[in-house]
Amino acid sequence: MAQTTALPRNEMGIGSALGVLKQRFGERFQTGEAIRQQHGHTTTWIDNQPPDGVVFAQSTAEVSEIMKICAAHKVPVIPFGTGTSLEGHVNAPAGGISIDMMQMDQVLEVNAGDLDCRVQPGVTREALNTYLRDQGLFFPIDPGANASLGGMTATRASGTNAVRYGTMKDNVLSVEAVMADGTVIRTASRARKSSAGYDLTRLMVGSEGTLGLITEITLRLQGIPEAISAASCSFPTVEDACETVMAVIQYGVPVARIELLDALVVKALNSYSKLDLPETPLLLLEFHGSQAGVAEQAETFGALADENGGTGYKATTTLEERNKLWQARHDAYWAMLALRPGCKAVTTDVCVPISRLADAVGGANARAADLGLTAPIVGHAGDGNFHASILIDMDDAEEVARAAEFVSHLNELAISMDGTCTGEHGIGQGKRRYLVKELGQGTVDVMGTIKRALDPDNLLNPGKILPA
Amino acid sequence: MAQTTALPRNEMGIGSALGVLKQRFGERFQTGEAIRQQHGHTTTWIDNQPPDGVVFAQSTAEVSEIMKICAAHKVPVIPFGTGTSLEGHVNAPAGGISIDMMQMDQVLEVNAGDLDCRVQPGVTREALNTYLRDQGLFFPIDPGANASLGGMTATRASGTNAVRYGTMKDNVLSVEAVMADGTVIRTASRARKSSAGYDLTRLMVGSEGTLGLITEITLRLQGIPEAISAASCSFPTVEDACETVMAVIQYGVPVARIELLDALVVKALNSYSKLDLPETPLLLLEFHGSQAGVAEQAETFGALADENGGTGYKATTTLEERNKLWQARHDAYWAMLALRPGCKAVTTDVCVPISRLADAVGGANARAADLGLTAPIVGHAGDGNFHASILIDMDDAEEVARAAEFVSHLNELAISMDGTCTGEHGIGQGKRRYLVKELGQGTVDVMGTIKRALDPDNLLNPGKILPA
């Protein structure tokens, strides 16, 4: 299932750059096949397109130097973090050099009084939270994988608690980036807000390495809440669950997480995690606040759920029970895989206005059934964002084709509802064909104009985001 | 005190465009001196530079048509809302056509279930809130003036309650814009989050009409809180007040507003509004939430204020007392003017990391004293953003020069603290000289590259944001 096309390679330039980089970086420059393949796309059904070499950078100055070498030889450059992206973001369709940022893993500065910090791109979110814990602070964005903060910034990642804390767009104050000519810029000051010129911070967030290489990120932090509680509630139908979610949002309950699991996921969890949940849609919640505030949120949710046929609602504040509840959410991926042993799970990612969420989930379920596919759904319901995980026998070409048809249908369904073909995974290679459908040719042309202006030789992660 | 320079005029093109527009728009195209001057800058000491004509547009198609006419003749175009901007944003230094958007004043769509709406740019924030009230919804951003939502979007406005609800950057889901060639684009879907390509929404927000003409805005809305309470508290020093603000933010108290008034403002209010407040720094607050939540926030704030020497703390939930309290904040401008009758108030706008706020306010006070200026300060303390209003006798050239020196000092002080020369007013003409100091030449060059790529003939609001 190749969703990728090779692009023309500048063989002569690549050859020259390989020589220069080897001489300059020695053992920190690698061209072995295994390392190169690890630095291509590995997480989904998109083909692996390895770079020609991998350099392990240790400083902004080095990234700038590598960029200048590659610019001189007109060789593509692809930034690499943990490699957990899902749409082929780290592939090298025109070859070139992967810059592995994971040795740039320092927390450079924490300003507790301002609730911000400055990190290198190779710091992972878990490493940052471990670092911050003693100071009573945390960084809320959790995309699931223990991704690097550089990669999360580049893909505009979010995850379960974006409903309360926003996405990377909302939590990055400023970035330092190396531009296509090797120039190092910083996009903004450390002020919490500014009207000083174009919002280059937000332009870099979500640009997937195609406009610049992110070498530092200044992040907003949060105080660890005094109290956290978790809850779960079953609903007769997806519609009932979604009505409850809308009421919660409209009522202004500041839920930290509100996750939807469809009946098929619940069934999978019952089997995998030995649970005894009603095999109907389930909402999993987390509340952050003061003791009294958390209790009030839980009570308000209970009342709203009750109006929509919610059953088996229970809230818990003990860490142990809370972990048990969220373990189910974390187990969901493995539980789903166990539905069809030996299959691969290919995960979709659409986001619609919340009022259309029930229709979108229902439409996805119906289409999967029509196509004879098993595609359980989990969703960040408070944002209208959900993922269907299609369980595919990758050796069955006909089934793979049906899965591709499902993905296509789902993206177009979301777009038809004034939603997006990607709530948080990004465009990469896999979703390029939907960008014009979603935003129109004129809008995509503006993106192309910006790309060509900032990267005239198309060296920064070519073949991503913009349609060919 | 001219902060403005005239730019070269394309006399022939302007003459041609005037003829075409007159023929096309008849009475909706005006060239009288009074109307032209009203559509130049009028609110501060920056010189008025009127456009050559004003067209009152009524639709996106008309804005596109006007843009195409002006592009054909290479004539500048300046979008105009309520004219309440403060840094010369609506001036026409190269002449050209002002497009008055105030007849595009329709709320096009309200999606209550999704907490969003779509409006034309001439809808003011008060008009929108009047429209929404019956549905239990409101739009939170309040920059003080009853500005148009198009103008607020273009300047990345915020104001008193950004500390809780964010700025325009956080509350615009999508814009429709007419680009330099007349093409109409829409930047994003109505999904609450998306990773679909470059964040053109945020690029347009705060671009001050220099990248495109905003013709529709899709906004996030909030449910009107169940309970609102207000409070005030006096502090011995600005440091004590700022320490309290930091504690409030770090503690995660979701204050809706937390405003700092320095001792001079309080003194002015006592005199103007017949109050009897201690003439020391004052914090004014507003809490939004459930009845219990608001009470808890007020109590938590009281405890934190107490630790920092706060006195006279009182919270109130009755509408009458709340209005009385905020009336003081709204009176502040007039009360300050009354400190020196006959003078003009020129308002500055800097924003620093909160941990530097006390130093910045102290530094501003000290410099004003050194220069013999009266410059009372109010601030959106929760964001580290504050305004000194310099009371100037505009007939005294020497005093005007000292005021200019103060403004310059204050901007550079904020920049030296890793803050910004504008938290919310924008760059316009008045702050262009600080952009490179704040962000560096490389960063400003990137902005210039984007500007030239999207507007190669420099027709969209020329002479703003980017240094000459």
Instruction: Let me know if residue B311 belongs to a domain.
Output: yes
pLDDT at position A1 is: 47
Interface residue A228 vs chain B (CB under 8 A): no
Interface residue A115 vs chain B (CB under 8 A): yes
pLDDT at position B27 is: 98
Which of B115, B193, B200, B226 to mutate to test binding with chain A, by most A CBs within 10 Å of its CB?
Answer: B193
- ipTM higher than the 0.85 cut: yes
pLDDT at position B463 is: 98
CATH of the domain at B137: 3.30.465.10
Mean pLDDT of the region A257-265: 97
Give the Cα separation of A374 and A371 in Å (integer): 9
B38 and B22 share one domain: yes
B18-27, B225-234, B324-333, B362-371: segment of lowest average pLDDT? B324-333
Give the Cα separation of B56 and B98 in Å (integer): 9
Instruction: Let me know if residue B332 belongs to a domain.
Output: yes
Give the Cα separation of B40 and B92 in Å (integer): 7
Q: What is the pTM of this model?
A: 0.97
B217 and B117 share one domain: yes
pLDDT at position A318 is: 86
Whose CA is closest to B448, among A179, A72, A153, A73?
A179
Q: Give the pair of three-digit tokens for residue B291.
A: 């009845």
Helical ranges in B44-160 per DSSP H: 60-73, 125-132, 149-155
Whose CA is closest to B163, among B354, B302, B312?
B354
Closest Cα in chain B to A156: B195
A248 and A325 share one domain: yes
The secondary element (H helix, E strand) that includes residue B334 is helix B319-337
**Is the confidence at residue B194, as pLDDT, over 60?**
yes
Q: Give the pair of three-digit tokens for residue B213.
A: 């003409």
Among residues B42, B77, B102, the one where a domain terminates is: B102
Instruction: Let me know if residue A4 belongs to a domain.
Output: no
Domain span at residue B326 reads 225-339
> Would you list the DSSP string of A140-159?
----SS--BHHHHHHTT---
Contact B184 A449 (CB under 8 A): no
B73 and B114 share one domain: no
**Is the confidence at residue A86, as pLDDT, over 50?**
yes
Of A184, A419, A449, the CB nearest to B191: A419
Whose CA is closest to A254, among A148, A368, A163?
A163
Of A158, A254, A444, the CB nearest to B193: A158
Give the Cα separation of A151 and A154 in Å (integer): 5
Task: Tell me how crowded residue A19 is: count the other CB atoms within 10 A of its CB.
Answer: 11
Q: Give the pair of three-digit tokens for residue A94.
A: 């025109």
Give the Cα separation of B193 and A420 in Å (integer): 8
Contact A354 B426 (CB under 8 A): no
B395 and B455 share one domain: yes
Give the Cα separation of A214 and A208 in Å (integer): 10
CA distance A371 to chain B (A): 27
B393 and B320 share one domain: no
CATH of the domain at B280: 3.30.70.2190
Give the B window 239-278 contacts with A, CB below 8 Å.
246, 249-252, 254
Which residue has better confidence, A213 or A467? A213
**Is the confidence at residue B2, as pLDDT, over 60?**
no
Instruction: Let me know if residue B5 belongs to a domain.
Output: no
Contact A205 B183 (CB under 8 A): no
CATH of the domain at A85: 3.30.43.10
| Band of pLDDT at residue A3, cut at 50, 70 and 90 | low
> Would you list the DSSP string of A184-204?
EEE---SSS---SSS-HHHHH
Contact B194 A420 (CB under 8 A): yes
Closest Cα in chain B to A153: B195
Q: Give the pair of three-digit tokens for residue B411.
A: 């901007």
Mean pLDDT of the region A390-414: 97
B121 and B214 share one domain: yes
| pLDDT tens digits for range B422-456 | 999 999 999 999 999 999 999 999 999 999 999 99
> Would you list the DSSP string of A2-26?
---------HHHHHHHHHHHHHHHG
Residues of A in contact with B287 (CB under 8 A): none
| pLDDT tens digits for range B251-293 | 899 999 999 999 999 999 999 988 899 999 999 999 999 999 9
Contact B223 A252 (CB under 8 A): yes
Mean pLDDT of the region B30-51: 97
Instruction: Let me know if residue B2 belongs to a domain.
Output: no
CA distance A27 to chain B (A): 32
| pLDDT tens digits for range B307-331 | 999 999 988 878 888 888 888 888 8
Whose CA is closest to B407, among B380, B395, B382, B425?
B425
Residues of A in contact with B166 (CB under 8 A): 170
CA distance B292 to chain A (A): 8
Percent of chain A that is helix, strand, coil (3-state, to 5): 40, 20, 40
Interface residue A416 vs chain B (CB under 8 A): no
Q: Give the pair of three-digit tokens for residue B118.
A: 């779509």
Mean pLDDT of the region B7-27: 98
The secondary element (H helix, E strand) that includes residue A164 is helix A162-165
Encode B276-305 in three state secondary structure: CCCCCCEEEEEEEECHHHHHHHHHHHHHHH
A310 and A412 share one domain: no
pLDDT at position A340 is: 94
| pLDDT tens digits for range A144-198 | 999 999 999 999 999 999 999 999 999 999 999 999 999 999 999 999 999 999 9
Contact A419 B189 (CB under 8 A): yes
Give the three-state DSSP class for B6.
coil
Contact B191 A355 (CB under 8 A): no
CA distance A30 to chain B (A): 31
Give the Cα separation of A28 and B108 in Å (integer): 57
Instruction: Let me know if residue B453 belongs to a domain.
Output: yes
Whose CA is closest to B332, among B282, B272, B291?
B272
B259 and B330 share one domain: yes
Residues of B in contact with A438 (CB under 8 A): 189, 196
Task: Tell me how crowded residue B167 is: count the other CB atoms within 10 A of its CB.
Answer: 26
Give the three-state DSSP class for B147.
coil
**Considering just the CA atoms, what is the radius of gyration of chain B in Å?**
22
Mean pLDDT of the region A277-294: 95
Give the Cα separation of B9 and B52 in Å (integer): 11
pLDDT at position B328 is: 85
Among residues B50, B84, B102, the one where a domain terminates is: B102
Residues of A in contact with B170 (CB under 8 A): 166, 170
Give the Cα separation of B81 and A209 in Å (integer): 37
CA distance A422 to chain B (A): 5
Give the Cα separation of B120 and B175 in Å (integer): 10
Give the B window 337-396 contacts with A, CB below 8 Å.
351-355, 383-385
Residues in Cβ contact with A334 at an 8 Å cutoff, skipping those fewer than 6 apart? A272
Instruction: Detail the DSSP E strand segments found in B359-410.
Output: 377-380, 385-392
Mean pLDDT taken over chain A: 96
Residues of A in contact with B177 (CB under 8 A): none
Instruction: Let me know if residue B6 belongs to a domain.
Output: no
Give the Cα separation of B10 and B437 in Å (integer): 32
A383 and A309 share one domain: no
Q: Which residues, listed in sequence order, are joined to residue A389 by a DSSP beta bridge?
A: A347
Among residues B223, B245, B266, the one where a domain terminates is: B223
Is the distance from CB of A242 to CB of A381 less than 8 angstroms?
A: yes
Mean pLDDT of the region B229-234: 96
| pLDDT tens digits for range A49-71 | 999 999 999 999 999 999 999 99
Give the three-state DSSP class for B462.
coil
| pLDDT tens digits for range A365-391 | 999 999 999 999 999 999 999 999 999
Residues of A in contact with B155 (CB under 8 A): 195
Give the Cα separation of A51 and A14 in Å (integer): 10
Contact A203 B203 (CB under 8 A): yes
Give the three-state DSSP class for A423.
coil
Residues in Cβ contact with A86 at an 8 Å cutoff, skipping those fewer than 6 apart? A43, A44, A347, A349, A425, A426, A428, A430
B150 and B217 share one domain: yes
Closest Cα in chain B to A293: B293
CA distance A369 to chain B (A): 26
Contact A423 B193 (CB under 8 A): yes
Instruction: Let me know if residue A438 belongs to a domain.
Output: yes
A20 and A62 share one domain: yes
Contact B113 A355 (CB under 8 A): yes
| Band of pLDDT at residue B1, cut at 50, 70 and 90 | very low
Is the distance from CB of A386 to CB of A360 less than 8 angstroms?
A: yes
**How many contacts (CB atoms, under 8 Å) link A and B?**
286
Whose CA is closest to A150, among A125, A170, A167?
A125
| pLDDT tens digits for range B71-110 | 999 999 999 999 999 999 999 999 999 999 999 999 999 9
Residue found under tokens 């007020």: B298
- CA atoms in the 13 A half-sphere facing the CB of A3: 27
CATH of the domain at B420: 3.30.70.2740
| pLDDT tens digits for range A296-348 | 999 999 999 999 999 999 888 788 888 888 888 888 989 999 999 999 999 99
CA distance A161 to chain B (A): 12
Buried b (16+ CB within 10 A) or exposed e, B415-438: bebbbbbbbbbbbbbbbbebbeeb
Is the distance from CB of B194 to CB of B188 less than 8 angstroms?
A: yes
Give the Cα separation of B207 and B460 in Å (integer): 10
CA distance B232 to chain A (A): 23
Buried b (16+ CB within 10 A) or exposed e, B337-372: bbbeeebbbbbbbbbbbbbbbbebbebbbebbeebe
The tally of domains found in chain A comes to 4
Q: Which residues, listed in sequence order, are joined to residue B175 by a DSSP beta bridge?
A: B217
Give the Cα separation of A280 and A285 in Å (integer): 16
Residues in Cβ contact with A307 at an 8 Å cutoff, skipping those fewer than 6 apart? A244, A247
Phi, psi of B451 (to 5 degrees): -60, -50
CA distance A384 to chain B (A): 7
What percentage of chain A reaches a pLDDT higher than 70? 99
